[in-house]
Amino acid sequence: MLAQDSETSRIYRDGLAAIDQLSNDDRWRFGALMQYEFAFFEDVFLLGGDARLIHDNKEDLLWLVRRPGARTWWQKGRLLYSPGFQAYVDSLVAE
- Closest C-alpha among 34, 36, 35, 45 to residue 70: 34
84 lies in a domain?
A: yes
CA distance 35 to 40: 9
pLDDT of residue 16: 97
Q: Structurally, how many domains does the chain consist of?
A: 1
53 lies in a domain?
A: yes
Structural domain range at position 34 = 6-94
Give the burial string for 55-71 (b: 16+ CB within 10 Å, else e): eeeeeebeebbebebbe
Reading the chain (95 residues) residue by residue, the pLDDT tens digits are 677 889 999 999 999 999 999 999 999 999 999 999 999 999 888 877 555 556 677 888 999 999 999 999 999 999 999 999 999 899 988 88
1 lies in a domain?
A: no
> What is the pTM for the complete model shown?
0.87
CA distance 81 to 14: 24
From first CA to last CA, the distance across the chain in angstroms is 29
pLDDT of residue 17: 97
